[in-house]
Structure 1
Amino acid sequence: MPRKLFDREINDLIRRMTDLGNTVDGRVQTTIEALRTQDMEKAKWVAQNDNEIDSEEHAIEQTCMNLIALQQPIASDLRIIASCLKILTDMEREADQCADICDILMIANLDRNSLALSHVVQMLEAARAMFRDSIDVFLSRNVETARAICKADDNVDAMFSRIVLEVCNIITENPQNVMCDVDLIFITKYVERMADHATNIAEWVIYMETGEHPELNTK
């Protein structure tokens, strides 16, 4: 494959990755709206349309494999392709977490007026901000911004710990609704994982630029 054509294919890969990231971000936003308003139609849509993300993930994976097979990439090219494969997995899992949250939302009987639920929504908004930033930094490849995204995960982790303690206190005071409260803890854990995926993406961007893969998400 001529070098110019290879460069064009790499640029197209970056574009498709960015498009997928924006699509996943839309799922996160819809999940936030469904959780905040208990909108079951939105929750159902997110839960039932995860296959679209999976299909695009597989298509991009195949593109990456073809790029490796058609031309023996130089080191910088190989870093880009390898990083895209890793980032792709985190994007797909981000969408999976949205589907998982919406699956729970459709069967749980959460209290819309619960203060704990509002805190979970705030946590999800913070995780979404991290994910959006990770997509932006995938394009800019700004290492310092990528490190800042990883640092922001500390805030989401702190929110997670506070919410779990809050829900445990609710269970102690009002044990008859324990199953709903457990569902909320499951949702909170999924949100915490979403922030982890954003951190992973930022770490792989650092690898793309420096050749070093830092472990900035150490918990």
Structure 2
Amino acid sequence: MNVTRRAQFDAYLDELRQALIKMSERVEKSIENSVKSLKNMDTELAKSVVEEDIEINKMEENIEDIGARIIATQQPVAKDLRRIIIAFRMANDLERMADLAVDIAKVTLRIENEGLIKPLVDIPRMAEIVQQMISDSIKAYVEEDIQLAYKMAQMDDEVDHLHSQILRELFAYIAEKNQNVNQALQLCFVSRYLERVADHATNIGESVVYLVQGHRPDLND
């Protein structure tokens, strides 16, 4: 690849990176707003999360279009091709995270007239961790930082621990109170949704390691 063509190729790659960064920021915000809507019983905020999912889907399509254009016009090979294919996978993981944010927002809408059975503490903490995981996983891709990618496993363990703790507390509440069972179960679902977001962020970490080292570890193990 000559110097001029390489410069054009690098410009295309930068366009791809910037699109991924923008999408990840939008997904982070969706997760933040979905949990905030639940914590504050803010139905308008919940509805906005649901409505904005269409825009995130379009961002995934844009990333696919950019990558397809690079492949068609530049014919990349080896690591450059892996970088583009991984971008497709990352966009898909981000889109699924956004879907999970919508699922959380829909919980807010389902229980809007009930009032929370208890103030939310651990669920917002989970949300903070998964938002950081999204940010770090994208940064790991952009900078090809495998140490940051491997950090996903540690953060995923924190999320798993909180998820287990939330389930124990909610099941104990159901057994003791035998009331507001539906809401307790809905909150269990929210915890599970956030745990799945963390899994998708960990998938991105695995993709980064594959990009840099040529093998895919199991960071969810």
Q: Do these two structures clear the TM 0.5 threshold for a shared fold by scoring above it?
A: yes
| CA distance, structure 2, for counterparts of residue 17 and residue 40 of structure 1 | 29
The answer to whether the aligner puts 1:200 opposite 2:203 as a matched pair is yes
| CA distance, structure 1, for counterparts of residue 187 and residue 104 of structure 2 | 9
Tell me the SS of whatever aligns to 2:179: helix
* Preserved contact between residue 134 and residue 201 of structure 1 (Cα < 8 Å): yes
* Preserved contact between residue 171 and residue 178 of structure 1 (Cα < 8 Å): yes
The answer to whether the aligner puts 1:177 opposite 2:212 as a matched pair is no
Q: Look up the match of 1:20.
A: 23
* Preserved contact between residue 79 and residue 211 of structure 1 (Cα < 8 Å): no
| CA distance, structure 2, for counterparts of residue 28 and residue 176 of structure 1 | 28
CA displacement, residues 110-149 of structure 1 (integer Å, 9 cap, x when unaligned): 643615x322222222222212221222222211111012
CA displacement, residues 169-213 of structure 1 (integer Å, 9 cap, x when unaligned): 111112221111111111111010011111111111112211211
2:110 paired residue among 102, 107, 111: 107
* Preserved contact between residue 97 and residue 194 of structure 1 (Cα < 8 Å): yes
CA displacement, residues 61-107 of structure 1 (integer Å, 9 cap, x when unaligned): 12212222223212011110011011111111111111110011111
* Preserved contact between residue 123 and residue 156 of structure 1 (Cα < 8 Å): yes
TM-score (norm 1): 0.93
Q: Look up the match of 2:83.
A: 80
Q: Look up the match of 2:135.
A: 132
Q: Look up the match of 1:186.
A: 189
| CA distance, structure 1, for counterparts of residue 65 and residue 184 of structure 2 | 42
Q: How many residues align?
A: 217
Tell me the SS of whatever aligns to 1:49: helix
| CA distance, structure 1, for counterparts of residue 45 and residue 6 of structure 2 | 45
* Preserved contact between residue 130 and residue 152 of structure 1 (Cα < 8 Å): yes
Tell me the SS of whatever aligns to 2:164: helix
Matched residue type, 1:67: I
| CA distance, structure 2, for counterparts of residue 65 and residue 128 of structure 1 | 28
Tell me the SS of whatever aligns to 1:114: coil
Q: Unaligned stretches of 5+ in structure 2?
A: none
Q: Unaligned stretches of 5+ in structure 1?
A: none
Matched residue type, 1:20: M
CA displacement, residues 4-55 of structure 1 (integer Å, 9 cap, x when unaligned): 2222111111111111111111212222321221211111100122000001
| CA distance, structure 2, for counterparts of residue 187 and residue 113 of structure 1 | 14
| CA distance, structure 2, for counterparts of residue 147 and residue 173 of structure 1 | 40
The answer to whether the aligner puts 1:6 opposite 2:16 as a matched pair is no
Matched residue type, 1:106: L
TM-score (norm 2): 0.92
The answer to whether the aligner puts 1:209 opposite 2:180 as a matched pair is no
* Preserved contact between residue 196 and residue 217 of structure 1 (Cα < 8 Å): yes
* Preserved contact between residue 30 and residue 49 of structure 2 (Cα < 8 Å): yes
* Preserved contact between residue 150 and residue 203 of structure 1 (Cα < 8 Å): no
Q: Look up the match of 1:166.
A: 169
| CA distance, structure 2, for counterparts of residue 210 and residue 27 of structure 1 | 32
Matched residue type, 2:118: S
The answer to whether the aligner puts 1:57 opposite 2:60 as a matched pair is yes
